[in-house]
Structure 1
Amino acid sequence: MSSSEDLASPVLRPGGTAHLPADCTVPLVEHTVGQLLSLRASDFPDREAVVGMRHGSDVVTRLTYAELLDEANRAAVVLRTLVPPGGFVALWAPNVIEWTIIQYGAALAGVVLVALNPVLRDDELDYAVRHSGAAILLHARVSRDYDLAAVAERVCANIPDVRRMSLDEFIARLPDDPTAVEAPADDPDAAVMLQYTSGTTGRPKGVLLTHRALINVAKLTMENAGIRFGAVCFNPLPLFHTAGCVIATLGPLWVAGVSILCQRFVPRQALSTLRDEGAEVLFYVPTLLAALLDEQRASAEPAPQLDVVMGGAANVPAQLIDGVSTTFGATVLNLYGQTELAPVLSMTRPQDDRDDRLTSVGRPLPQVECKIIDPDTGRTVGVGETGEICARGYQQFVEYLHDPAATARALDAEGFVRTGDLGMLDERGFLSVTGRLKELIIRGGENIAPAEVENAIGSHTDISDVVALGLPDERWGEIVAVACRLRPGAGPELRDDLIAFAKSRLPAYKVPARWFVVDDFPVTPTGKVQRFALRDAAAEQRLREI
């Protein structure tokens, strides 16, 4: 669709069912991740590919496509000696250039990269390494002020058959002479990445994704965003997320552009980088975008002028979209999806009118089928009716690793992925997200399972029971809050004690920002806690806050 008439024309029958067939007019490509990198290096060897900091350095490094392929090939050679074909290699590091090199190296070597959040605490890292069955954990020395090396050493000492290796040691093993890995991976349907995503039951699920899924989602996202070939792209998103290592890494690869990594997001520095590098594309989550806008409004420096600002959130405030459009001169596009969809289902496009870009998550990407169902009966609802958003296509996940029961629950009888989000399709095929069936808390783009927070805080001696919930927040989208039932004799310094207790057991982003005390929880007739009732009571200031 390219004209306003096309966008206004119905693609679903009024009064019909909310089932949008896949647009198959745009072909998929058959490349693996490594093959696409090789192709770009062959066609554009001297073009800049990635800019960022090396591990342990504050000096900016710039790699051309030929140099990036060379380093990725050498990484693949080493990985072949450390990990069996089809095996798993875990990477635990911040946004350093080695992250991208190892991502490509693993793809070339035919092993699966396990992408780990560098804020994981001991038990979380232990779970991910054990669950994935990783043959090796590659780790940075430090991320911000967090001693990754010490945590990795403690954790791996208790896990049989896993090897621990610092990035320094891994880089030291790379062959000095340029070399290509023998017989690079060439099956686009092979698994290439394992992403951990929080589930409502507490323990994260391992989402297995293929080369085909990652390459084509990146391709179709960039094409539908209208990104020019060779674009300069700024990536402040964490590389362990699919948004950072798929859309903001493989997306620039598809357009033979440059990916500028941001190791640690500081708004003033980010604005300076955008100006100095002549960035055309910025990837975002709303919290990051709001911080950039606030910083620019307080700055005497000219605002960098961008072509496209694109990122993911179910609902982005209208004032934020308008503010960014006015200040940075950019078209702001909203992407929607989830890790299980690698990760984009739908997006707004540059040709969409302002109202659609403010109130919807656009239309599904080509080659993905979408429908809205009644979550209780599985029946496809009518056009314009609210139900659970479901999607089916080439990019859906292979499985939840080692969890066939959860994999089966995530799919409906026709093989559609059930997203757990509520929404509706209009007659034109535009998708709107209206709520969530899942109990996940989404703070600044991070999925947090209530059970994770509850299990950590519930072990405090003064807590008899606890329920975690998300409360609306302008900056973060949601913040973590807890409602607690206290044991008799809880001390007057309880809040400070609880916060310190939570910080010792949870990453900072999972630590509750608000703490409430209740005598009893509202429950259903079957005894299930009504979280929505607690959220309403907190919003109406009917809960006692400590």
Structure 2
Amino acid sequence: MSTPATATELSYAHGTGTTPLLGDTIGRSLARTVEAFGDREALVDVVSGRRWTYAEFGADVERLARGLMASGVDRGDRVGIWALNCPEWVLLQYATARIGAVMVTVNPAYRAHELEYVLNQAGISLLVASLTHRTSDYRAMVDQVRSACPALRSAHYIGDPTFDALTAAADSVTPGQLAAREAELSCDDPVNIQYTSGTTGFPKGATLSHHNILNNGYFVGELVSYTEQDRICLPVPFYHCFGMVMGNLAATTHGACIVIPCPSFEPAAVLTAVQRERCTSLYGVPTMFIAELNLPDFASWDLSSLRTGIMAGSPCPAEVMKRVVAEMHMAQVSICYGMTETSPVSTQTRVDDDLERRTGTVGRVMPHLEVKVVDPVTGVTVPRGEPGELRTRGYSVMLGYWDQPERTAEVVDAGRWMHTGDLAVMREDGYVQIVGRIKDMIIRGGENVYPREIEEFLHTHPKIADVQVVGVPDERYGEEILACVIPRDRADPPTLEELTAHCRERLAHYKIPRALRILTEFPMTVSGKVRKIELREGYGA
């Protein structure tokens, strides 16, 4: 629980708890789970039908770890993974952790020039990749950039003899040699580099330790009451913290089962996996849940096994949350808030929170973390109920951006507070509301307008499936309000006049959108956040 407000009611909260932080490496944590739950299912790949018990999973992780050592991967070396969700992705995550390598997650959507940047910036020496996906030929792109990436010694492709060679090489490294390597490792060692989606320029590599992500995954799982009985459907990408930390590490620290429904998100495949595997938990960003709920035959799937799940990536519209609880049987669904640089979760709703807290907030501070809301100019903590920048501190804050100390210093201050860039309000009860990004706040004729408030209200319009609100240049007011709408029925989208009439009774006049764009989808970052900068730039296009 978070500590009570001080006499001055400042927007500060410290998450306490009776369960101590884990002091393990990821490898030692997995070994304990294998010992305790060896005969329970650890991993299911619905598409291929492959299944692993924890004993089988642990054995395959060990073999891959020894194969990586035989291939010359030393402690601290960077190993890249450029692939869609698949069992080999998960095996590599734990195998690299066991040998002290740093796994670098690469977005499968990257093109050759983006791949080249990451290979060089992180100094990746060994790369594991998919062969193809849609229009992407991964081997061809690797061949295209290889001469410009001197650190890259070898590339291995899933489903290809080059990947099989990795595990075949394991015979030249003994289990004792692997154990000796593991004995050298510290929980504070870097274990993962995740490239954050920048709005300008190239992304930065957030460097995370065993301690960062193992604990964050564990406590996310604790707060949704995971046990070895749970089966977690993960349609969210593994190359981001949502999949590999909140999903995979939350599962393996509790003996739960990871269910991979499809390589990349397909709403019908997700619901089929939940039904077939009797999943108890389902993850997604709000747009994923919206896509599932809007399937014409949604009611035909049996989702009665679900009890919980996690929504994150961007704030969840209240109307969507209500449907998820009522129609998907996810009475204990949890909202999580965070960012890659904080491993990722800082606040989370609890399973016994009422619907108002789970629809109106992003929860309260996680155990062993601190959050505060400050004036973004002065850095002074504001009173509860007032908006400001959300900052967080504790075990979850990244080690830094890989090889970019100046960029690290821009967001992590001398007190080790991470500056999130998010506008938030801490309520009297300690629960946090995200009201937007500092850079997304609209200033219309001197009035501060928070897009989140307008978006929440527009979600109550019967013709709107999803909506994003942005500010666009205006000669008279400086900025004007634009609503970007995905309609429920493309043949019958809402008109600006209908939106205006809908808003007039409930919103102040300066908050009513003055422009409307009808879209089929929103531009998204790798972490599931809508790229509002592209919506602004596309206005009038």
TM over 0.5: yes
What is the letter of the counterpart of residue 39 of structure 2? D
Name the structure 2 match of 1:367.
368
Distance 1:270 1:286 in 2: 14
Is the counterpart of residue 120 in structure 1 residue 110 in structure 2? Answer: yes
Candidates 67, 71, 74, aligned match of 1:78: 67
Corresponding residue for residue 514 of structure 1: none
SS in 1 for 2:133: coil
Q: What is the aligned partner in structure 1 of residue 239 from structure 2?
A: 240
Distance 1:473-1:217 versus aligned 2 partners, 3 A rule = farther
Q: Match of 1:275?
A: 275
Cα drift, residue 183 of structure 1: 2.1
Cα deviations by residue, 1:96-131 (Å, 9 ceiling, x for unpaired): 110000111000011000001111011110000000
Structure 1 residue aligned with 2:28: 35
Deviation at residue 385 of structure 1 after TM alignment:
1.2
Relative to structure 1, the CA distance from residue 61 to residue 508 in structure 2 (aligned partners, 3 Å threshold; closer, same or farther) is: farther
Could you tell me whether the CA contact under 8 Å between 1:139 and 1:152 is conserved in 2?
Answer: no
- Counterpart of 2:85 (choices 86, 95, 105) is 95
Equivalent in the alignment of 1:312: 312
Correspondence for 2:336: 335
Distance 1:38 1:352, change over 3 A: same
Inter-partner Cα distance in structure 2 for 1:13 and 1:470: 40
SS of 2:279's partner is coil
- Following superposition, the deviation at residue 210 of structure 1 comes to 0.6
Aligned partners of 2:364 and 2:432 also within 8 Å? yes
Q: Pick closer, same or farther for the CA change 1:470–1:211 going to 2, 3 Å.
A: farther
C-alpha separation in 2, matches of 1:218 and 1:338:
13
Contact preservation (8 Å) 1:41, 1:66: yes
What's the counterpart of residue 459 of structure 2? none
Cα distance, 1:230 vs. partner?
A: 2.7
Matches within 5 A, 1:55-70: 59-70=48-59
What residue number does 1:155 align with? 145
Find 1:48's aligned residue among 33, 37, 41: 41
Q: Relative to structure 2, which stretch is displaced further, 58-67 or 233-242?
A: 58-67
Name 1:352's counterpart in structure 2: 353
- Give CA deviations for 1:242-265 in whole Å, capped at 9, x if unaligned: 100111101111110100113132
Q: Which amino acid aligns with 2:276?
A: D
Q: Indicate how the Cα distance of structure 1 residues 79 and 381 shifts in structure 2: closer, same or farther if over 3 A, else same.
A: same
Alpha carbons of 1:160 and 1:66: their partners in 2 closer, same or farther (altered >3 Å)? same
Q: Percent identity?
A: 31
Q: Say what the alpha-carbon RMSD is for the aligned residues.
A: 3.0
Q: Residue 531 and residue 344 in structure 1: after superposition, are their counterparts in 2 closer, same or farther (change >3 A)?
A: closer
Partner of 1:183: helix, strand, or coil? helix
* CA distance 1:52–1:265, shift in 2 (3 Å): same
Contact 1:421 1:437 in 2 (8 A): yes
Query: C-alpha distance in 2, partners of 1:470/1:225?
Result: 37
1:255 paired to 2:254: yes
Aligned to 1:488: none
1:452-463 equivalences in 2 (<5 Å): none
For structure 1, list consecutive stretches of 5 or more residues without a partner in the other structure. 2-6, 443-468, 477-506, 512-529
TM-score, with normalisation over the residues of structure 1?
0.78
- For 1:94-493, list aligned pairs within 5 A: 94-167=84-157, 168=160, 169-175=162-168, 180=175, 181-185=178-182, 186-261=185-260, 262-295=262-295, 297-331=297-331, 332-438=333-439, 472-473=484-485
Q: Find 2:10's aligned residue among 17, 27, 30.
A: 17
Distance, in Å, in 1 between the alignment partners of 2:90 and 2:32 is 17
Superimposed CA distance per residue, residues 48-69 of structure 1 (whole angstroms, 9 cap, x where no aligned partner): 101116xxxx521101111111
> C-alpha deviations, 1:323-380, integer Å up to 9, x for none?
1111121122110000011000001111111111111001011000111111111111
Amino acid paired to 2:85: N
- Cα 1:66/1:144, change in 2 over 3 Å: farther
Structure 1 residues 508 and 155, CA gap change in structure 2 (3 angstroms): farther
Q: 1:496-540: per-residue Cα shift (whole Å, max 9, x none)?
A: xxxxxxxxxxx98579xxxxxxxxxxxxxxxxxx989x95x98xx
- CA separation in 2, counterparts of 1:510 and 1:337? 14
Contact 2:362 2:431 (8 Å CA) reproduced: yes
SS of residue matched to 1:161: coil
- SS of equivalent residue, structure 1 residue 135: strand
CA 1:381–1:30: 2 relative to 1, 3 Å:
same
Aligned length: 455
Q: 1:267 to 1:199 in 2, by over 3 A?
A: closer
Cα distance, 1:301–1:381 mapped onto 2, change above 3 Å = closer
CA displacement at 1:144 relative to structure 2: 3.3
Q: 1:250 is matched by which residue type in structure 2?
A: L
AA matched with 2:163: F
Does the aligned pair in 1 maintain the 2:78–2:123 contact within 8 Å?
yes
When residues 508 and 375 of structure 1 are mapped into structure 2, their CA distance, relative to the original with a 3 A threshold, is closer
Matched residue SS, 2:180: coil
User: Aligned partners of 1:372, 1:362: CA distance in 2, in Å?
Assistant: 14
The one-letter amino acid paired with 2:128 is: L
User: Structure 1 counterpart of 2:180, which letter?
Assistant: A
Cα distance in 2, alignment partners of residues 77 and 376 from structure 1: 51
Deviations along 1:31-58, one digit per CA (max 9) or x if unpaired, are: 21111111111122121101116xxxx5
Q: 1:242 to 1:313 in 2, by over 3 A?
A: closer
Of 270-279 and 194-203, deviating more is 194-203
Q: Is the 8 A contact 1:94 1:118 kept in 2?
A: yes
Determine the C-alpha separation between the residues in 1 that align with 2:199 and 2:119.
Answer: 20
Match of 2:511 in 1: none
Secondary structure of the corresponding residue to residue 309 of structure 2: strand
Within 1, Cα distance between the matches of 2:24 and 2:296? Answer: 40
| Distance in 2, Cα, partners of 1:249 & 1:475 | 34
Pick closer, same or farther for the CA change 1:173–1:406 going to 2, 3 Å.
Answer: closer
- Letter of the 2:23 counterpart: E
The C-alpha deviation readout for 1:135-178, integer Å capped at 9, x for no partner, is: 12221111234211111111113221312322331322313769
Distance 1:345 1:164, change over 3 A: same
Contact 1:115 1:194 (8 Å CA) reproduced: yes
Deviation at 1:390, TM superposition (A): 0.3
Q: Which amino acid aligns with 1:129?
A: L
Cα–Cα, structure 1 residues 259 and 296, in superposed 2: closer, same or farther, change >3 Å?
farther
Contact 1:290–1:475 (Cα < 8 Å) also in 2: no
The 8 Å contact of residues 141 and 166 in structure 1, kept in 2 or not, is answered as: no
* Contact 2:274 2:303 (8 Å CA) reproduced: no
